[in-house]
Amino acid sequence: MTDVSSEVREFASREYQYGFVTDLETDVAPRGLNEDVIRLISSKKNEPDWMLEWRLKAYRGWLTMEEPTWQKANYAPIDYQDIIYYAAPKPKVALTSLDEVDPEVLAMFDKLGISLAEQERLSGVAVDAIVDSVSVATTFKEKLADVGVIFCSFSEAVQCHPELVKRYLGTVVPRRDNFFAALNSAVFSDGSFCFIPKGVRCPMELSTYFRINAADTGQFERTLIIAEEGASVSYLEGCTAPMRDTNQLHAAVVELVALDDAQIKYSTVQNWYPGDAEGRGGIYNFVTKRGKCAGVNSKISWTQVETGSAITWKYPGVILQGDNSVGEFYSVALTANHQQADTGTKMIHIGKNTSSTIVSKAISAGHGQNTYRGLVKVLDSASGARNHTQCDSLLLGGDCGAHTFPYVEVKNPTAQVEHEASTSKIGEDQLFYCRQRGIPEEDAVSMIVNGFCREVFKELPMEFAVEAQKLLSVSLEGSVG
């Protein structure tokens, strides 16, 4: 009898495709963190005083906070004084169009399969490309501006739309929300800013591509998306990083605000470098993502495919404040090698007749540890609240782990909350059936895993769904020796 786990063990040793380093000239801050570094970051970005004040308040708050330890993850202590908090590719000239972007940067994005020039011409997806801490290019800006959509780097928004930033920044994820959010609030470098005005359906998908390039840097982006009354937008986020044998910290904050009748769909394919087969290196992905359905009938939907990072902690949540608002969370998380993922969502039901849906598919292979952790909270005001949660875990091999930790807290008697979860190994009957039809074992594993994830993939925009499926399949390549 062939050992399924041997093939699955190989699955853990898949190659990371995006691990190259691009030789960019980089402007970096000195190692470590203190108020001077924050002042430096702020002045590099030519920020107004209020922004600096905001950062300093966050920093002072952070100093009083303790790093959380409740996650199901093991890692060596992070030395926050040994991290570089600001690194930017040095622009050769001031940018006015893509033509002036450093060709090395464009080449890097080409290599990643994201041709910025091509995107601009063909694909109809607006891209904000962020390398290390800085936005290097944003495509389609003018076309979007025609309909009133603002899509730019966060730094630019601070300069050009301070009133919007001031009004919404920190309203969903407060400065002192948690240890990593506080750190981000103090040192965030750049990120994307999207504003969809009243009644506008964003004519194209907006996308940010994050790339960590420099060594020993932390990446702290801040993204803020606002959809005004009746507006809607679909936003995509992708990420990769070079292979390095030290760990790098990524502590981003994403805030979404949906006003009355607005809809925001936020999709992520996270493929940060996961570390090597022995668990050396890889990104620590400690992210705070939260949306607020502030208005009635609003909807926020998170879809994530998490295949990268050495450690992932993220719980994209929705605060369902407006009556009849809807929150969704669709997740695929894959851990192989020594990866650890602790991810899930928080659905906070406040308004009447609010509803939320959670679908989580976790795949563990190698020595991967995969945890779903989710909170569904129904406050006493949330009459008629509904939640349905489905968490399934698939185990490939005997050395990995899959954990499910839901928290359900209900204070309203008219709420209906359902949580279901299952955990099992990949079906040997399914594998045999596929193989009997002539499908090689490795393809069969890939096919079954993709089928297992389909409910989530179908929530992704088309191009992303293809990329996500490819990502899983590539992960399975070379798995049968």
Partner 1 sequence: MTTTATTASPRGLAGLEPALNGHQPGWLGGIRRAGLEWVAEHGFPTLGDEDWKYTRVGPILDVPFQPAVGGMKHRLSASAIDGLAGDLGGTRLVFANGYFAPELSTLMALPEGTTVTSLASVLAGDAERLEPFLARPLSSQHHAFTALNAALAEDGAFIQIPPDATIAAPIHLVFVSDAGASPLVSSPRSVVHAGARSQATIVETHVGSGGVYLTNAVTEVILEDGAQVQHYKVQDEADTAFHLAALHVRPGRDSSFSTHALALGAAIARHEVWVKLEAAGAEVTLNGLYLPDGNQHHDNPTLIEHVAPRCTSRQLYKGVLGGHGRGVFNGHIVVGPDALGTDASQTNKNLLLSDTAEVDTRPRLEILTDDVRCTHGAAVGQLDEEAVFYLRSRGVPHQQARGVLTYAFAGEMLQLIGVGPLRSRVESKVAERLNREDTDRETFR
Partner 2 sequence: MLQIENLRASIGGKEILRGVNLEVHAGEVHAVMGPNGSGKSTLAQVLAGRESYDVTGKVLYEGEDLLALSPEERAAAGVFLAFQYPVEIPGVGNLYFVRTALNSLRRQQGLDELDAIDFLSLAKERMRLVEMDESFMGRSVNEGFSGGEKKRNEIFQMAVLEPKLAILDETDSGLDIDALRVVAQGVNALRSEGRAMLVITHYQRLLDYIVPDVVHVFADGQIVRSGDKDLALELEQHGYADLEQRATLASAAAPVVGATS
Alpha helices in 64-140 (DSSP H): 103-111, 116-118
Q: C-beta of 450: minimal distance to partner 1 in Å?
A: 19
For the record, the structure tokens of 3 come out as: 């050992």
Does residue 411 bind partner 1 (CB under 8 A)? yes
Interface residue with partner 2, options 414, 432, 470, 478 (CB under 8 A): 432
Does residue 31 bind partner 1 (CB under 8 A)? no
Of 303 and 371, nearer to partner 1 (C-beta) is 371
Question: Of these partners, partner 1, partner 2, none, which one is at the site of residue 451 (CB under 5 to 8 Å by kind)?
Answer: partner 2
Does residue 422 bind partner 2 (CB under 8 A)? no
Does residue 417 bind partner 1 (CB under 8 A)? yes
Does residue 451 bind partner 2 (CB under 8 A)? yes
Does residue 12 bind partner 1 (CB under 8 A)? no
Q: Which of 192, 241, 237, 236 is nearest to 218 (CA)?
A: 241
Does residue 397 bind partner 1 (CB under 8 A)? yes
Does residue 398 bind partner 2 (CB under 8 A)? no
Q: If binding means CB under 8 A, how many residues of this protein chain bind partner 1?
A: 37
Question: Of these partners, partner 1, partner 2, none, which one is at the site of residue 23 (CB under 5 to 8 Å by kind)?
Answer: none
Q: C-beta of 371: minimal distance to partner 1 in Å?
A: 8
Interface residue with partner 1, options 25, 424, 451, 466 (CB under 8 A): 424
Does residue 477 bind partner 2 (CB under 8 A)? no
Neighbours of 279 (CB within 10 A): 17
Neighbours of 404 (CB within 10 A): 20
Does residue 216 bind partner 2 (CB under 8 A)? no
Does residue 402 bind partner 1 (CB under 8 A)? yes
Interface residue with partner 2, options 27, 104, 110, 441 (CB under 8 A): 441
Strand partners, 205: 125
Q: C-beta of 438: minimal distance to partner 1 in Å?
A: 26
Q: Are 130 and 156 in contact (CB under 8 A)?
A: no
Does residue 481 bind partner 2 (CB under 8 A)? no
Binding stretches for partner 1 (CB under 8 A): 5, 70, 378, 380, 393, 395-426
Binding stretches for partner 2 (CB under 8 A): 1-2, 427-430, 432-441, 443, 447-448, 450-455
